[in-house]
Amino acid sequence: MLAPAIYFSYYSVQYDIENPVCSVAPMRKIILAAFLALFSAAALFAGARWAFHGRFFQETDNAYVKADAVTVSAKIANRIARVAVEENAYVNQGDPLVLLENEDYAAARRQAEAEVAARKAALESIRQQITLADAKIADAAAAIKSAKAQLTLKQLDRKRTADLADRNVAARQSLDQANAGVENWSGKLESAEAALDAAKAAALVARAQKDEAQAALKKADALYETALLNEENTVVRAPRDGVVGNLAARDGQFVSPGQRLMSLVPLNDVYVVANFKETQIEGIYPGAKATLELDAFPGEEIIGEVENFSPASGSEFSLLPPENATGNFVKIVQRVPIRIRITEAPENVTILPGLSVTASVDTRTGDREAPVFSPRRHIEESPPISVAPQEMNTAG
């Protein structure tokens, strides 16, 4: 007795329970044709995408967010009275960060201020001496003029008296008196001339002392400014806007000049450094548009713009640059750091220095005539900042 046979039909394939014979040739052809069609479509799409889009882009995942962090340190040595900020706090330029004990520097400033006052008083005294010497010079000159006039008059009187005495008209006593008058005014003239020489010498000495006093006053002013600057440096201020990080300062700690107290990270001025292979940089120029994606925020697109190139590959700035003149040379593809400025970023994306980035640059954009290095910027000279509360007049 034959067992009942059940047939299933699916895509021209028949199964017989009693005789499991399968005809798969038509199915294989259909699957192969479908696979080839899908593969051809995918290849066509990929080829079209590469031809019209992908070949114009250079991409690397060797990129990182950077910021020009500032190391904050003290300019003078002293003990910390109080740390005025906390870790991860945002500060503005000029905000106090660390307060050092300032009693010693305040005392030094007061001492320097007193020295300036003393030097000013000494200079004023010398100026008065010069004024007095000039007055004595004027008096001596007037006395000389008067003595010369009187001497001339007495000499004329003596001559007339001598003539009269020779003719026996005048008495001999009158001639003696005339001679005595000439000798008297001659002595007075010599005294006036000596007084003039002494006054001039005193004036010269006083003016020399004035020069020394002015130099001493300038030195005292400089010491005062130094003391005042040291006192101001007991307050360590933020050199720029940023967020406090790596805070190492503690209350009561003794610090030395140049010792790191904290770092200041300008999160409002971050950028990306993308290390492209040397075979990728052809066609990348300043101004080229870049698409950035942080590993911390996948799917969030950040827009950037190429700013400039590094002057050398990354290996040239390593601690031990490669020496390719040796016999065991192995060629390694070098990477060139390219700086990318961030122009647009989603509000929900927090861009922190050190984060990994995937950077893609559109080589169809950019200025081919622009220099790959930043142009030299002219820094205008500014007048020195006066630290004194008011100008000190040292002119005399």
Report the half-sphere exposure of 373 (CA within 13 A, side-chain side).
6
CA separation for the pair 310, 373 (Å, rounded): 7
pLDDT value at residue 234: 95
Give whole-number Cα distances, 325 to 315, 330, 331, 333, in Å. 15, 11, 12, 17
CA separation for the pair 192, 212 (Å, rounded): 30
Choose which CATH entry (2.40.10.10, 1.10.760.10, 2.40.50.100, 2.40.37.10) describes domain 71-98+234-261: 2.40.50.100
User: How many residues are recorded in the chain?
Assistant: 396
Burial class (CB in 10 A: 0-12, 13-18, 19+), 298: exposed
Give whole-number Cα distances, 181 to 126, 162, 216, 270, 396, in Å. 41, 13, 52, 100, 46
DSSP readout, 94-131? T-EEEEE--HHHHHHHHHHHHHHHHHHHHHHHHHHHHH
pTM: 0.66
pLDDT value at residue 392: 40
pLDDT value at residue 385: 42
If we measure between CA atoms, which residue out of 313, 241, 242, 249 comes closest to residue 276? 313
pLDDT value at residue 225: 95
CB–CB of 142/199 below 8 Å? no
Position of tokens 């001999």?
A: 172
Architecture of domain 103-232: Orthogonal Bundle (1.10)
Query: Mean pLDDT per segment of 10 residues, for the chain of length 396 residues?
Result: 42 46 65 82 75 77 95 95 95 96 94 95 90 84 78 70 62 65 74 82 86 93 95 95 95 94 94 94 92 94 94 85 74 92 93 95 86 60 42 40
Domain locations in the chain as residue ranges: 1-39, 71-98+234-261, 103-232, 270-362
A 10 A CB-CB count for 131 gives: 12
CA separation for the pair 213, 117 (Å, rounded): 12
CA separation for the pair 355, 300 (Å, rounded): 14
CA atoms 266, 268, 272, 273: torsion sign: negative
- 279 alpha carbon, distance to own chain's centre: 37
pLDDT value at residue 187: 75
103-232 and 270-362 agree in CATH topology:
no
The domain made up of 270-362 is a member of CATH 3.30.70.270: no
